[in-house]
Amino acid sequence: MKVWKSALHQMAETTKTQLWNDSCAVSELTESMKHGAVGATTNPVIVGNVLKKELPEWSPRILEFVHAHPLDSEDDIAWRIIEEMGTTAAKLLLPVFRASGGLKGRLSMQTNPKYWRDSQKMVEHALHLASLAPNIQVKIPTTFASLSAFEEVTYRGVSINATVSFTVAQAVAVAEAVERGLARRRRESLDCSAMSPVVTIMVGRVDDWLKKVAEKQGIITDPGYLEWAGVAVFKHAYEIYQQRGYRSKLLSAAYRNHMHWSEFIGGDVVVSIPFDWQQRFVASDVTCESRMANPVNPVAVGELLRKFPDFVKAYEEGALIPAEFDSYAPTRRTLRQFIAAYDEVVSIVRNLMIPDPDLKGQ
């Protein structure tokens, strides 16, 4: 009897497009793998959401760490939890990692977002995270300081995931940094065969920012065009990647509509989809069709280029130089959110380490 498979599962089985679960929650990743997921990722927002959702389960573990490590700061304990959460999910993906020779089955863990200005600290933290399990992929934000970090950790044999990235310029700069790191490895006859770098474009956050700009500045445009901005940036970056033969794969993240998945089906890319969006896609009537090569409506792209300077910066490769990465508005917004989410994780630990005496029962 023929077993029904969702379009998401069909994509994972029949195309080059890889499905990742955009969470390290074990229950979600386990279910996602049934639909063909071959990777997963985490960041401070995701870790915070898992902790809040599963706090009754995690609170005893946090207190175990507190009692076992009396000299640890609240930050130290927070990182023990982050690392345990990541390595637990990594174990689920280990069979996929081994079967693919290291090209799939990785769990992305993010370096401390507060290190975004310090290349050396990012490198040191990346090397530490990569040592936790054989299938850890390290996420580093795409800032000006991180470009040298991407090259260095690649040279050291770490597969990277460039996050906090929204533009063609960032995607190309990271890919070039990775190529430099790979070239250094090859010159020393170091193995590169199992390395699988990915470069994220947070497509939904491109849309979010342009909608915010339109509202703030009173710009009138077809509202449907704003739903395609991130897709257009991603597809343009993909064309460049294909032309230049970069080793890195593009990864789409920050989902806001089904095009952030369906328009990339068939591409040699990663779609890192939050679990709730996966459930919506599984239940939808969106079909598994190769759409990656379908161009975005040129009228929509043309209007976005005319009316939104920040879309020009996102879409055109030379419109944003590396020294401007840190000041690009979506970069600042996302860094602030990631740092705030990290601080929230630390505060959850603090509230267990130092219970509030004014609360009932304390």
Tell me the residue type at 119.
S
Is the pLDDT reported for residue 4 higher than 90?
no
Distance between CA atoms of 48 and 344, rounded to whole angstroms?
7
Does 69 have pLDDT greater than 60? Answer: yes
Residues 261 and 239 sit within 8 Å (Cβ to Cβ): no
Residues 21/314, Cβ–Cβ less than 8 Å: no
pLDDT of 236 higher than 50: yes
Residue 157: strand, helix, or coil: coil
d(CA 249, CA 269): 6
Residue 40 backbone dihedrals phi, psi, to 5 degrees: -155, 165
Could you tell me the end-to-end alpha-carbon distance of the chain, in angstroms, rounded to an integer?
Answer: 59
Confidence of residue 2 (pLDDT cuts 50, 70, 90): very low
pTM, to two decimals: 0.95
Q: How does DSSP assign 159-194, residue by residue?
A: PEEEES--SHHHHHHHHHHHHHHHHHHHHTT---TT
Question: With contact defined as beta carbons under 8 Å apart, do 200 and 330 qualify?
Answer: no
- Residue 3, pLDDT > 80, answer no
Locate tokens 């497509």: which residue? 203
pLDDT in tens, 262-282: 999 999 999 999 999 999 999
User: What is the spatial distance between Cα 342 and Cα 338, in angstroms, rounded to a whole number?
Assistant: 6
User: Do residues 237 and 250 make contact, with C-beta atoms less than 8 angstroms apart?
Assistant: yes
Q: What is the overall mean pLDDT for the chain? A: 95
pLDDT digits 0-9 by tens, 332-360: 999 999 999 999 999 999 999 998 887 65
Structure tokens at 220: 């009138």
Closest to 268 (Cα-Cα) out of 255, 288, 252, 253: 252
Mean of the pLDDT values across residues 211-222?
A: 97
Least confident stretch, 38-47, 100-109, 129-138, 293-302:
38-47
So what's the pLDDT on residue 45? 86
- Mention every residue, 6+ apart, whose C-beta is less than 8 A from residue 351: none
Q: What is the pLDDT of residue 5?
A: 82
Which residues, including other chains, have CB under 8 Å from residue 123's CB and lie 6 or more apart?
149, 152, 153, 156
Q: Could you give the angle at the alpha carbon of 23 between the alpha carbons of 20 and 26, nearest 5°?
A: 100
CA distance 98 to 95: 5
User: 102 by DSSP, 3-state: which?
Assistant: coil
Secondary-structure breakdown of the chain: helix, strand, coil percentages, each rounded to the nearest 5: 55, 10, 35
